[in-house]
């Protein structure tokens, strides 16, 4: 690990080859316009404590908060098998040959975990197609006064609708949910290349992710 | 993020100041003796497929697998409140003022999550003291043929018993459990400084962890 940059490139090369599940595909918009306001908007969704300084950001919150037609944010449903949820996930990672029965069974298993497991989607209601998704796990801890930590996973936005901040919306939605559920922080793993996107969502680089494959 | 090395140092400095929960405290032994065998031992615990080449490693597995007296590996119990589980966690992160009632309630909440949440401990049965612990969360996915991913958290070994590979034992124990439960990989976040320890346990650097505090 003497050269992180090379290591990161190696890992990314491996990603491409293995088509691994850990690369978040997000909006590839490059505009830095109103970056601070976007961040404020994101955080504004998560907190009711609004200072005078944040009034402008509150307006921006509304701007980010109201999804334009034909998009709707909601929890994943078994019927999303037919609305292309797995085709969307294929833009992120290997999916394999998952039947409608297996999909429904897994969604029901997830639901049984209640507040500990949430998959959100954005649906294009005109096309009845899932265009963005992300997952939140809630970890129970004994430390931090029996605290909780949110883990965000599997963030992906359909390539046909990128550049409309849908990635930011699903991430902010889950970060807000994590805070509502009593988490003191939310964490995620991403490539170096996707870090600037998550920084726009209010995240900061923290540690190193390690993985062991079986 | 142009300079990872500095960023990492900054983050570590911040860790010290904030006494944050994400620094894994592990065995600080520096001997590289039999490093490959140690890794083989770790992996050996996880798989019954032993090739001829791995016979020697199988012996080492036994060496790592049999905990010396007075240590025992088991699941966390509510009575571990009185055996110093929280004092051990204080070597890793802020714990706060957790009552025995709150501890018991949280352990019961964790148990209700069944296979999705495991906290293991190593107890010194002579001293009736918890000397090591680690946590495994199991994430349900739709991708990867409705796969599962293990997340390892809160790895800590008591400073009085470091250098006896107890950290490696709890990590290998949880990685083995993750594999048994059907995970295709197990992941964790750690500082750059602790990465070599996790490499001994069979992990490789993968991505960047990002965090947002509320």
Give the pLDDT confidence of B50-60 residue by residue, as tens digits.
333 333 333 33
Q: Would you call B45 helix, strand, or coil by DSSP?
A: coil
Q: In chain A, what residues touch B141 (CB-CB under 8 Å)?
A: 21, 135, 153-154
Which residue, chain included where needed, has tokens 């010194």?
B124
What is the C-alpha to C-alpha distance for residues B185 and B141, in angstroms, rounded to an integer? Answer: 12
Q: Per mean pLDDT, which of A20-34, A48-62, A199-213 is the most reliable?
A: A199-213
Asked whether residue B24 carries a pLDDT value surpassing 80, the answer given is no
Specify the pLDDT at position B208. Answer: 97
Question: In this complex, which of B95, B202, B207 lies closest to A189 when CB atoms are compared?
Answer: B207
Average pLDDT over residues A158-184: 96
Specify the pLDDT at position A25. Answer: 54
Residue A164: DSSP 8-state: S
Q: For residue B140, what is the nearest residue in chain A, using CA coordinates?
A: A110
- Summary mean pLDDT of chain A: 79
Residue A189: phi and psi, rounded to 5, are -115, 140
Q: For residue B98, what is the nearest residue in chain A, using CA coordinates?
A: A145
Range with lowest mean pLDDT among A24-28, B28-32, B188-192, B202-206: B28-32
What is the C-alpha to C-alpha distance for residues A96 and B96, in angstroms, rounded to an integer? Answer: 45
Specify the pLDDT at position A204. Answer: 97
Closest-CA distance, A156 to chain B, in angstroms, reads 12
pLDDT digits (tens, 9 = 90+) for B142-158: 999 999 999 999 999 99
Confidence of residue B21 (pLDDT cuts 50, 70, 90): very low
B143 to A93: CB separation less than 8 angstroms, yes or no? yes
What is the C-alpha to C-alpha distance for residues B5 and B191, in angstroms, rounded to an integer? Answer: 11
Specify the pLDDT at position B64. Answer: 72
Beta-carbon contacts of residue A3 (< 8 Å; ≥ 6 apart): none
Q: Would you call B99 helix, strand, or coil by DSSP?
A: coil
Residues of A numbered 32-61 whose beta carbons fall under 8 angstroms of chain B's beta carbons: which are they? 46-47
What is the C-alpha to C-alpha distance for residues B129 and B72, in angstroms, rounded to an integer? Answer: 11
Asked whether residue A66 carries a pLDDT value surpassing 70, the answer given is yes
Name which of A130, A207, A209, A213 to mutate to probe chain B: the one with the most chain B Cβ atoms within 10 A of its Cβ. A207
Q: In chain B, what residues touch A211 (CB-CB under 8 Å)?
A: 185-187, 203-204, 206
Q: In chain A, what residues touch B117 (CB-CB under 8 Å)?
A: 140
Closest CA to A204 of A47, A45, A62, A39: A39
A184 to B213: CB separation less than 8 angstroms, yes or no? yes
Specify the pLDDT at position B66. Answer: 83
Residue B134: phi and psi, rounded to 5, are -160, 155
Specify the pLDDT at position B143. Answer: 97
What is the C-alpha to C-alpha distance for residues A68 and B50, in angstroms, rounded to an integer? Answer: 57
Asked whether residue A127 carries a pLDDT value surpassing 90, the answer given is yes
Question: In this complex, which of B21, B204, B208 lies closest to A190 when CB atoms are compared?
Answer: B208
Confidence of residue A65 (pLDDT cuts 50, 70, 90): low
Q: Count contacts between A and B (CB, < 8 Å).
A: 240
CATH 3.40.630.30 is right for the domain spanning A4-30+68-200? yes
Q: Which residues of B52-84 are buried (b: 16+ CB within 10 A; e: fewer)?
A: eebeebeebbeebbeeeeebeeeebbbebbebb
pLDDT digits (tens, 9 = 90+) for B91-117: 999 999 999 999 999 999 999 999 999
Q: Which two tokens stand for residue A158?
A: 């359909």
What is the C-alpha to C-alpha distance for residues B123 and B85, in angstroms, rounded to an integer? Answer: 10
Q: Interface pTM (ipTM) of the complex?
A: 0.75
Quickly count helices (H) and strands (E) in chain A. Answer: 8, 6
Which residue, chain included where needed, has tokens 């034992």?
B169
SS3 content of chain B, % helix, strand, coil (to 5): 45, 25, 30
B142 to A1: CB separation less than 8 angstroms, yes or no? no
Asked whether residue B65 carries a pLDDT value surpassing 70, the answer given is no
DSSP per residue over B183-198, as a string? EEEEEEEE-GGGHHHH
Specify the pLDDT at position B32. Answer: 38
Confidence of residue B82 (pLDDT cuts 50, 70, 90): very high
**What is the arrangement of strands in the sheet containing B71-75, beginning at the earlier edge strand?**
A71-75, A117-124, A129-140, A148-157, A183-190, B204-213, A204-213, B183-190, B148-157, B129-140, B117-124, B71-75
Specify the pLDDT at position A3. Answer: 36
Instruction: Parse chain A into domains and list their residue ranges.
Output: 4-30+68-200
Specify the pLDDT at position B119. Answer: 97
In CATH, the number for domain B24-200 is: 3.40.630.30
Asked whether residue B10 carries a pLDDT value surpassing 50, the answer given is no
């Amino acid at each position: 690990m003497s050269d992180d940059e090379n290591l990161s490139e190696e890992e990314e090369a491996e990603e491409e080859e293995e088509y691994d599940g850990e690369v978040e595909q997000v909006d590839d918009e490059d505009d830095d316009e109103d970056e601070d306001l976007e961040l404020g908007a994101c955080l504004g969704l998560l907190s009711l404590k609004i200072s005078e300084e944040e009034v402008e950001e509150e307006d921006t919150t509304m701007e980010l908060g109201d999804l334009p037609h034909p998009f709707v944010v909601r929890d994943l449903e078994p019927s999303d098998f037919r609305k292309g949820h797995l085709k969307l996930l294929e833009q992120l990672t290997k999916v394999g040959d998952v039947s409608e029965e297996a999909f429904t069974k897994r969604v029901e298993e997830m639901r049984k975990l209640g507040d500990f497991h949430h998959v959100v989607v954005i649906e294009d209601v005109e096309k009845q197609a899932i265009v963005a998704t992300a997952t939140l796990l809630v970890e129970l801890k004994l430390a931090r006064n029996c605290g909780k930590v949110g883990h965000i996973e599997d963030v992906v936005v359909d390539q046909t609708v990128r550049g409309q901040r849908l990635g930011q919306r699903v991430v902010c939605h889950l970060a807000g949910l994590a805070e509502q559920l009593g988490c003191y922080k939310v964490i995620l793993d991403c490539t170096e290349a996707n870090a600037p996107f998550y920084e726009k969502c209010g995240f900061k680089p923290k540690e190193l992710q390690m993985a062991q494959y079986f």
